[in-house]
Chains A and B, each alone.
Chain A
Amino acid sequence: MRKRMLVLAVTVLFVVSIMLAGCAGGGAVGTLQFHANGEDFVRQGFVSKDGWSINFDHVYITLADITAYQTDPPYDPHTGGNINGKVTVSLDKVYTVDLAEGGEDAPPILVDEVPDAPAGHYNTIFWRMVRATSGPAAGYSLVIIGTAEKDGQSVDFTINVEEECEYSCGEYVGDERKGILEESGTADLEMTFHFDHIFGDAETPPDDELNLGAPGFEPFADAAEGGKILNMAELHLGHVGEGHCHCECH
Chain B
Amino acid sequence: MHMKWRIIVSLICILAIGLVLPMKVFAHGAKIEYTVSMVIELVAAYDNGEPMAGAQFVVYAPDDPSTPWLTGVCDDEGRFSFTPDTSKPGIWDVKVRQAGHGDIVHIPIGEGAVAASGTGGYTTLQIGLMVACVVWGSVGTALYFSSRRRA
Q: Please report A residues at the B interface, Cβ cutoff 8 Å.
A: 7, 10-11, 14, 17-18, 21-22, 24, 26-28, 70, 72-74, 86-87, 118-121, 123, 170-171, 173-174, 177, 180, 209, 241-244
Contact = CB atoms under 8 A, between A and B. Distances in A.
B37 interface: no
B25 to A, nearest CB: 55
Contact of A242 (B47, B65, B103, B140): B103
A6 B123 CA distance: 28
Interface of A, secondary structure class, is: mixed
Contact of A170 (B46, B104, B114, B116): B104
Given A17-B129, A121-B65, A74 B119 contact: no
A177 B93 CA distance: 11
A18 B117 contact: no
B88 interface: no
Interface of B: 46-48, 60, 65-66, 91, 93, 95, 97, 100-104, 106, 108, 114-123, 125-126, 129, 132-133, 136, 140
A21 B115 contact: no
A242 B100 contact: yes
B46 A173 contact: no
Nearest to A242: B102
B144 to A, nearest CB: 10
Nearest to A17: B129
Nearest to A117: B119
A205 to B, nearest CB: 11
B97 A177 contact: no
Contacts of A17: 129
A221 B123 CA distance: 60
Nearest to A171: B104
A70 B100 contact: no
Nearest 8 pairs between A and B by C-beta? Answer: A121-B117, A242-B102, A72-B115, A173-B102, A120-B119, A26-B123, A74-B106, A118-B119
Contacts of B60: 177
Contact of B102 (A10, A177, A180, A243): A243
Contacts of A170: 104
A5 to B, nearest CB: 14
Contacts of A18: 129, 133
A199 B136 CA distance: 70
A73 B129 contact: no
A173 to B, nearest CB: 4
B106 to A, nearest CB: 4
A22 B136 contact: no
B123 A21 contact: yes
